[in-house]
Amino acid sequence: MLIGLTGGIGSGKTTVSDLFAELGIKIIDTDVISQNLTAASGSAISLILENFGPQSIALDGSMDRKFMRTKVFNSSNERKKLESILHPLIREEAKRQIQNLDGPYSILAVPLMNKDSSWIRLCDRILLVDCPKEEQIRRVELRNGLGPTEIQKIINSQSSIRDKLSFADDVLFNYGEREYLKKEILRLHQIYLKLSGACSKSV
């Protein structure tokens, strides 16, 4: 059984994935796949250079993330251009990893899901992680040192909570003590173990 894990920037997807991983659950993270594709000699580098020019590539040969972040979150056309290069490659690699999964259930972490997203069809169930917007901004300011205006632009480029709630099966409200989060994850883990007995989908 494959659980899709989604949520806005800073909502806590990685924190939640790490806790499931501690329970022995396999995680496929599309952010990690994306980082590998855009690392030095990653398979997306030549297309990024071709489409965004030499400034998009850092001295070590990887994609210049700061340059691209500024570019894509200030222009939806530039964002769509980058997504049109990366998303098919991310999807192909995610599908390859899904074929090699074992265990009762696994998690596919995808930051960008909306109600029309083809990721939804790959998953048996969707878990949405959420927290108040002010908290997303506070966490990302602390973690990345970005300013609130820059973070707000990223939030604006992502689907709304109303859209996400329309396709989520489970919602984890990650706004409180870590102990509370751990308990909620154990509760979901038990549910997923039970459900996995009855459910299996191929890509």
Ligand X SMILES: Nc1ncnc2c1ncn2[C@@H]1O[C@H](COP(=O)(O)OP(=O)(O)OP(=O)(O)O)[C@@H](O)[C@H]1O
Ligand Y SMILES: CC(C)(COP(=O)(O)OP(=O)(O)OC[C@H]1O[C@@H](n2cnc3c(N)ncnc32)[C@H](O)[C@@H]1O)[C@@H](O)C(=O)NCCC(=O)NCCS
Residue 81 structure tokens: 């251009």
SS3 state of residue 104: coil
Q: Which does 34 bind (CB under 5 to 8 A by kind): ligand Y, ligand X, none?
A: ligand Y
Q: Does 45 bind ligand Y (CB under 6 A)?
A: no
Q: Which does 82 bind (CB under 5 to 8 A by kind): ligand X, ligand Y, none?
A: ligand Y
12 appears as a binding residue in the annotation: yes
Q: Does 125 bind ligand X (CB under 6 A)?
A: no
- State the virtual CA torsion across 18, 22, 24, 26 in degrees, nearest 10: 10
Of 69, 81, 153, 189, which one interacts with ligand Y (CB under 6 A)? 69
SS3 state of residue 173: strand
Q: How many CA atoms lie within 13 A of 123 on its CB side?
A: 27
The amino acid sitting at 181 is L
Q: Does 123 bind ligand Y (CB under 6 A)?
A: no
Contacting range for ligand X; rule: CB under 6 A; set: 6-14, 64-72, 88-96, 113-121:
6-14
Contacting range for ligand X; rule: CB under 6 A; set: 10-18, 48-56, 163-171, 182-190:
10-18
Asked whether the beta carbons of 65 and 48 are under 8 A apart, the reply is no
14 appears as a binding residue in the annotation: yes
Q: In what order do the strands lie in the sheet with 125-130?
A: 26-29, 106-109, 2-6, 125-130, 170-173
Residue 35: count of CB within 10 angstroms of its CB: 14
Of 25-64, binders to ligand X (CB under 6 A) are: 31
Q: Which does 153 bind (CB under 5 to 8 A by kind): ligand X, ligand Y, none?
A: none
Of 104-123, binders to ligand X (CB under 6 A) are: 111
d(CA 35, CA 30): 8
Asked whether the beta carbons of 169 and 125 are under 8 A apart, the reply is yes
30 appears as a binding residue in the annotation: no
Contacting range for ligand X; rule: CB under 6 A; set: 11-19, 34-42, 62-70, 78-86:
11-19
Q: What residue ranges bind ligand Y (CB under 6 A)?
A: 9, 30-31, 34, 38, 65, 68-69, 72, 79, 82-83, 86, 90, 110-112, 154, 157-158
